[in-house]
Structure 1
Amino acid sequence: EQPIFSCKAHVFHIDPKTKRSWISASSSAVSVSFFYDSTRSLYRIISVEGTKAVINSTITPNMTFTKTSQKFGQWSDVRANTVYGLGFSSEAELNKFIEKFQEVKEATRLAAAKANANGTSSGPGESPKHQAKTGEKAPPPTTTAPSPPTMVTGSGEAQLKYENDRLNSANAKKWEIELATLKNNNVRLTSALQESTANVEEWKRQLQSYKEENQRLKTKYIELEAAKGSTEAAVELRKELQSLRSRLESLDLESRNKDDEIKRLNKQQAAPLADQEERFKNLQQENAELQAGVSLAQAQLETAISAQESQRRVLDTLNSQLAARVQELAAIHRCGSKDSVGAVGEVKGGIVRVQSEAEAGVKGCK
């Protein structure tokens, strides 16, 4: 393949042991070229002296070329685990190399951004595929409470039975409403809990990504710190590391806040359940008291009916006695006029006695 750009420079490698001195990788100025790898869609910097490749570096969007003097520059390749240095014959050639380095780095960044925008990276001749997923939430089911029973007119026992049924129906309706409210609250709390959990997982993934980036920058910082003439790059990296530390602290704080929110939602979900159970128990106790009142009223009704029956029997007895007295009066009247006056008095006395006995019997029933 034809190079995109070529220049002449002395090639150096950082000492892998001390990380503080340079080791000459070429005996003289060699050709340093930019190549585009079309099979992998990558840009490379390659330099060969004889049969030895002194530079084989793949350019990434995160690489930085640092000009450390008028004729010397360097960059770090994390993949190759080394730092490359180039010495040029003039500052103009160094500036041309820096310009081409920035141009290729920007092209690499745009290609990576385009691949991320498409959702998946593809090789030559391939096209990204997009899949859309849609989700719909079904509305929660609605519950209808049963209507109260129709009022039935009749005796006292039927009235009490109707009241008992009406109270039971009212309590059942109240329980259904409470249960529906509890279900809706549970659905809302569960949805909020799931959303918070998903957010926490996303923050954790981002935090891990930032930690990896921080570790990579630390390695780069150590390499640049060991190299000669890298003061400006080290200051810039310190600022970047400080910024990343601040972001990591912020993400840690947000992660803890999300964990606290999840705990709070769990408590909120448990509290309504306990309240509803307590209210349910109270309603059951209230229903038991109402049923006891109905039983007492039924007993009182049965007692009143029994007393009324006893009073009726007493009145029947008195009516029989009164009829017998009237028959005696008729017999006496037929006996003759002589004894009519005395008989009439005796009958009147008997009627008075019957009335007195009837009144006494009524008072006894009461």
Structure 2
Amino acid sequence: MGEQPIFSTRAHVFQIDPNTKKNWVPTSKHAVTVSYFYDSTRNVYRIISLDGSKAIINSTITPNMTFTKTSQKFGQWADSRANTVYGLGFSSESHLSKFAEKFAEFKEAARLAKEKSQEKMELTSTPSQRKQALATSKESATGDLQSPLTPKSINGTDDERVTADASQNSEPRAEPNAVPFPHSSTTISKHWEAELAALKGNNAKLTAALLESTANVKQWKQQLAAYQEEAERLHKRVTELECVSGQTTGIKTQKTELNQTIEELEAALKAKEEELEQLKAEVENAHQLQSQKDAVTQKLQETETRNLELEAQLAELEQRLESNQVEQESFRKSLRSLLELLDGKIFELTELRDSLAKLIEGGGS
């Protein structure tokens, strides 16, 4: 209830592939809201992003984190507690720069909060506890630097981990120190009573932090299972898209072949049209023979009607050719038959012309 959003932006969210540690796996289908939250009860800053009802980012900012710009619109940071690396793709360079500035600002605030927490702990602890807490904090910091992606860390602030180590190491020593001095002065007695009360309070805080950490671990396990399911679904989708891409390439190849075939057929049709024009010219010359005018005219009309029918058949064959490549061979056969028919008509016209010429010559003689 104490967490409030202090800065929000929109970006595409990615996580590093847990298997290869190289490839990015998208965790959101589209740009989602990514917000900085401040928890006043624990004095920590977190980056949170939701895709619907699912949390795809839940990262607590620590002083050891670094946000890196890898391109003009992409940045990333490693979260050792979540054992992953987050990546954000922004719509512009200005959005990326603003997010990076806020990251550095809240990282510094987290560092100051950690130092204040350590100072308070030192003021309320014995000298031996201070030494142990300092050694524990150094070991914790060294562990974070050496292995930024180890799954050993749990959710919670660094201050809580240092306080937990210090109190766990110091609390067993407080009780035996109180035994040898049962008859000490009132001041010493009050001091140890206050120390015991402080230790009890720290113990209660540590218990609450441990319960919260356990709940966070369970939540992360559930989110990890959801991420794995999403990754499997995305892999399947990629495979399907690759198959569709292969089919599209085959269709484009067939389309190219059909276009080439259509161009060839158009060239052949043009040649046939030229032949038809020549036939018409010969028919016009034949009109000069008055005695055979009616017969030749009738045959010419029949030829033109036949030509129209042939053109219609050619158009129909072209349409069939676009939809089905198998019909190309039948279309070619039809063209051959048409050529034979035209040759026959040409031969008939030639014979007719020769017979007319003979008649004219016979009449003149």
TM-score (norm 1): 0.37
TM-score (norm 2): 0.37
Greater relative contact order (CA < 8 Å, ≥ 6 in sequence): 1
Q: Is the radius of gyration larger for structure 1 or structure 2?
A: 1
Which of the two has greater helix per residue?
2
